[in-house]
Amino acid sequence: MLAKSVPYGLISLSVVPVMAVATLWFSGQARKAFRRTRAEMGSVNAELQESISAVREVQAFNRAEENIETFRQTNAANRDANIRAVVFTSALAPTLEALGYLALVIVACVGGWCCWAVKLSSAVPFLGDRDHFSDLCPAF
């Protein structure tokens, strides 16, 4: 890209820093969310183990409903942590794809402006790149 046209290459690469920041932010958030997921899963396992090992005491003191409610709360916290982790990991790919399309739009707008503002003959070498755009967007 840079060998063909330095300005167009630099314009298309202008989105790369934004992509890097988005990747770092999403990966940091996902890392925090997965740590919380592991902690919550440990709580669920501990609660379940405690309930199973103390089943006679639970029955003797009629605490079944309290134990069930405690387990529901622990399980709900685990579910919420998993959902949060999945949201961050699922949002990364569409964000990067949208930024890629933004780079395409920027290049197309700058190229269109150059064709309009400058003589058409100066843009003719780049008309051959239409095939690359049609690979990205089949509507062309």
CA angle 35, 25, 81 (to 5 degrees): 30
Averaged pLDDT of the chain: 80
For the cut 50, the answer to whether the pLDDT of residue 133 exceeds it is no
CA 34 to chain centre: 14
pLDDT at 25: 94
- The per-residue pLDDT for 125 is 53
Structure tokens at 111: 């190229």
Residue 136 pLDDT class (50, 70, 90 cuts): very low
| Distance from C-alpha of 140 to C-alpha of 133, rounded to nearest angstrom | 8
Compute the distance between CA of residue 13 and CA of residue 21 in angstroms, rounded to an integer.
Answer: 14
Question: What are the phi and psi torsion angles at 137 (to 5°)?
Answer: -130, 105
pLDDT at 2: 67
- Report the alpha-carbon distance of residue 2 to residue 14 in Å, rounded: 13
CB contact burial 52-77 (16+ within 10 A = b; e otherwise)? eeeeeebeeeeeeeebeeeeeebeeb
Q: Is 78 exposed, middle or buried (0-12, 13-18, 19+ CB in 10 A)?
A: buried
pLDDT of 120 higher than 50:
no
pTM beyond 0.75: the answer is: no
pLDDT of residue 121: 45
Count of CB atoms within 10 A of residue 46's CB?
11
